[in-house]
Amino acid sequence: MRKIRLIHITLKNDQIELIQKVLEVINVDLNIKNTTLLRGDLNSVIIVRQDRTEVPELIDRLTEMGVGTKYGIIDIILLDATIPELPKRFEDGKDQVTDRIAQSEIKNNIKESSNPSYNYFVFILLSAIIAGAGLILNSPAVIIASMIISPLIGPVLGFSFGIATSDRKMILNSALAQIIGILISITCGILLGYLAINLIDDPQFTSEMSVRYFPIYLDIIVAICAGIAVGYSITGTVKSTLVGTAIALSLMPPAVTIGLALMYGDLSLSFGSLIVLLANIIIINGCTIIVLKIKKVS
């Protein structure tokens, strides 16, 4: 199903030359025919319907003219359906490697989830506790449950987008959220390890803990795939709630294992899990940034 955007470009009536120039860009330069001009007492509104992957080109041209920055307002609205269906500008209908939604949409989609907040820390705590229980019980099902509720994808998205767009504030907020989230996870591992030692007779290392002992080629492959998936998810060309699970798979269990191994007295496993965690963070963020660059997010 095609995702259509309704773009409202609001300009003051006295900006006649700018309105005419915008219409020329839309109708002539970009060959967009489904355009409506509405005039009010004070403002004029230019209405355009476009496929989501065609919106960035229009927004880029408008911002070059100062529309949305110096003059007027641009509203981008998601339409559930259009009857009759909007024809594609390009008849082949093939998806391009660089297809994406508008950069302003991307930023709005990730801004809230990338900032450290009360809800973020609550879900990090719950996810880490469940992951720790799964590691101690050697239960893959419980570990998967922790991944599903983990909110780590938000800061990863924000950090990568901030790097790609040189948004210093988003970089700092997202990095802070990632660091605090990881520290909370490690602390939960320490506390759960302490409880296991005192409440379980002769607690043993489980296979789910041991597999986090230093990164192997499969860990790297998983992290690369997760990073690429995040990049495609953030640009809107592929939407999947499971992308966050892939991120949590690479980050949450190793972080909790660091704390558990410390309490179990295995410094080698704890250090190995730390290397796995750091490698995954670098690879995931790096691959996401590469995809954003390919998608021409800058």
Summarize pLDDT for 167-195 with one digit per residue, the tens.
Answer: 888 889 889 988 999 999 999 999 999 99
How many Å apart are CA 276 and CA 154, to the nearest integer? Answer: 20
Residue ranges of domains in the chain: 4-94, 104-294
Domain 4-94 class in CATH? alpha beta
Q: Where are the beta strands (DSSP E) in 130-171?
A: none
Residues 104-160: pLDDT tens digits?
777 777 776 677 788 889 999 999 999 999 999 888 889 888 888 888 888 888 888
Q: What is the pTM of this model?
A: 0.72
* CATH number, span 104-294: 1.20.1080
Nearest residue to 246 via CA among 148, 172, 166, 175: 148
In this predicted structure, the answer to whether residue 91 has a pLDDT above a threshold of 50 is: no
List Cα–Cα distances, 174 to 108, 166, 230, 275, in angstroms.
14, 13, 15, 21
Would you state the pLDDT for residue 148? Answer: 82
Cβ atoms within 10 Å of 190's Cβ, excluding its own: 18
In this predicted structure, the answer to whether residue 1 has a pLDDT above a threshold of 70 is: no
User: Which residues have C-beta within 8 Å of that of residue 175, sequence separation ≥ 6?
Assistant: 155, 159
